[in-house]
Amino acid sequence: MKLAYWMYAGPAHIGTLRIASSFKNVHAIMHAPLGDDYFNVMRSMLERERNFTPVTASIVDRNVLARGSQEKVVDNITRKDAEEHPDLIVLTPTCTSSILQEDLQNFVERATLETKSDVMLADVNHYRVNEIQAADSTLHQIVQFYIEKARKKGELPQGKTEKPSVNIIGISTLGFHNQHDSTELKRLMADLGIEVNVVMPDGASVHELKNLPRAWFNFVVYRELGMMAARYLEKEFGMPYVDITPMGVVETARCIRKIQQGINAQGAGVDYEEYINNQTLYVSQAAWFSRSIDCQNLTGKKAVVFGDNTHAAAMTKILAREMGIHVVWAGTYCKYDADWFREQVSEYCDEVIITDDHTEIGNAIARVEPSAIFGTQMERHVGKRLDIPCGVIAAPIHIQNFPIGYKPFVGYEGTNQIADLVYNSFTLGMEDHLLEIFGGHDTKEVITKGISADSDLAWTKEAQVELNKVPGFVRGKVKRNTEKFARERSFNQITVEVMYAAKEAVGA
Partner 1 sequence: MTVAQPDALTFECETGNYHTFCPISCVAWLYQKIEDSFFLVIGTKTCGYFLQNAMGVMIFAEPRYAMAELEEGDISAQLNDYDELKRLCLQIKRDRNPSVIVWIGTCTTEIIKMDLEGLAPKLESEIGIPIVVARANGLDYAFTQGEDTVLAAMAARCPDKVSTVEAEKNERNAIQKLLNFGKKKEDVATEESEYADHPPLVLFGSLPDPVVTQLTLELKKQGIKVSGWLPAKRFTELPVLEEGYYVAGVNPFLSRTATTLMRRRKCKLIGAPFPIGPDGSRAWIEKICSVFGITPKGLDEREAQIWESLEDYIKLIRGKSVFFMGDNLLEVSLARFLVRCGMTVPEIGIPYMDKRYQAAELTFLEKTCHEMGVPLPRIVEKPDNYNQIQRIYDLKPDLVITGMAHANPLEARGINTKWSVEFTFAQIHGFTNARDILELVTRPLRRNNNLKDLGWDKLVKEEAKI
The answer to whether the Cα torsion of 181, 183, 189, 194 is positive or negative is positive
AA identity, residue 369: E
Under rule CB under 8 A, residue 507 binds partner 1: yes
Of 84 and 123, nearer to partner 1 (C-beta) is 84
* Nearer Cβ to partner 1 (186/381): 381
Instruction: Reply yes or no on whether 294 is catalytic.
Output: yes
Q: Is 96 in the site for partner 1 (CB under 8 A)?
A: yes
Query: Is 50 near partner 1 (CB under 8 A)?
Result: yes
- Spatial distance between the Cα atoms of 478 and 400, rounded to a whole number of angstroms: 29
Nearest distance from C-beta of residue 1 to partner 1, angstroms: 4
Report if residue 449 touches partner 1, rule: CB under 8 A: no
471 near partner 1, judged by CB under 8 A = no
Structure letter (DSSP) for residue 393: -
Residue span binding partner 1 (CB under 8 A) among the ranges 34-42, 114-122, 293-301, 449-457: 34-42
Binding flag, residue 472, partner 1 (CB under 8 A): no
Q: Name the region of 85 (left: φ>0; alpha: ψ -120 to 50; beta: rest).
A: left
Is residue 268 close enough to count as binding partner 1 by CB under 8 A? Answer: no
**Contact between 473 and partner 1 (CB under 8 A)?**
no
DSSP code, position 94:
-
Rounded CA separation 328/106 (Å): 52
Please list the alpha-helical segments (H only) found in 23-93: 38-46, 62-67, 70-84
Residues sharing a CB contact under 8 Å with residue 396, sequence separation 6 or more, in sequence order: 8, 10, 376, 377, 378
59 binds partner 1 (CB under 8 A): yes
Decide: is 86 part of the binding site for partner 1 (CB under 8 A). no
Whether the CB-CB separation of 177 and 247 falls below 8 Å is answered with no
Choose one: 56-64, 115-123, 431-439, 441-449; the region binding partner 1 (CB under 8 A). 56-64
378 Cβ contact partners less than 8 Å away, ≥ 6 residues apart = 6, 8, 358, 361, 396
DSSP 222: B
Sheet holding 217-220, edge to edge: 195-201, 165-171, 217-220, 241-242
Q: How far is CA 453 from CA 377, 444, 456, 480, in A?
A: 40, 17, 9, 9
Binding-site members for substrate are 429-430
Alpha helices in 47-91 (DSSP H): 62-67, 70-84
Q: Which member of 204, 319, 378, 390 binds partner 1 (CB under 8 A)?
A: 378
Should residue 458 be labelled a site residue for partner 1 when binding is judged by CB under 8 A? no
- Strand ranges for 326-415 from DSSP E: 326-332, 351-354, 372-375, 390-392
Candidates 24, 25, 37, 430: give the one binding partner 1 (CB under 8 A). Answer: 37
Asked if 503 interacts with partner 1 (CB under 8 A), we say yes
Binding marks (x or -) toward partner 1, 324..363, rule CB under 8 A? ----------------------------------------
Q: Which of 15, 19, 22, 62 binds partner 1 (CB under 8 A)?
A: 62
Binding partner 1 by CB under 8 A: which of 36, 202, 224, 483?
A: 36
| Piece of 19-27, 228-236, 266-274, 495-503 that binds partner 1 (CB under 8 A) | 495-503
Q: Does 430 bind partner 1 (CB under 8 A)?
A: no
Catalytic residue of the set 294, 350, 387, 432: 294
Site string for partner 1, 126-155 (x = CB under 8 A): xxx-x-------------------------
Return binding residues for [4Fe-4S] cluster: 36
Annotated binding residues, as ranges?
Answer: 36, 429-430
Query: From the CB of residue 257, how many other CB atoms can be counted at a distance below 10 Å?
Result: 15
The reply on whether position 386 binds partner 1 by CB under 8 A is: no
List the one residue out of 54, 73, 55 whose CA is nearest residue 63.
73
Query: ω into residue 396 within 30 of 0, thus cis?
Result: yes
* # of chain residues touching partner 1 (CB under 8 A): 64
Residue 202's closest CA among 22, 51, 26?
Answer: 22
SS3 call for 442: coil
Is residue 7 near partner 1 by the rule CB under 8 A? yes
Q: How far is the CB of 422 from partner 1 (least distance, A)?
A: 24
Footprint of partner 1 (CB under 8 A): 1-7, 10-11, 13-14, 32-38, 40-42, 44-45, 48-53, 56-62, 65, 76, 83, 85, 94-96, 99-100, 126-128, 130, 378, 381, 396, 398, 466, 469-470, 496-497, 500, 503-505, 507-508
User: Which residues are identified as catalytic?
Assistant: 294
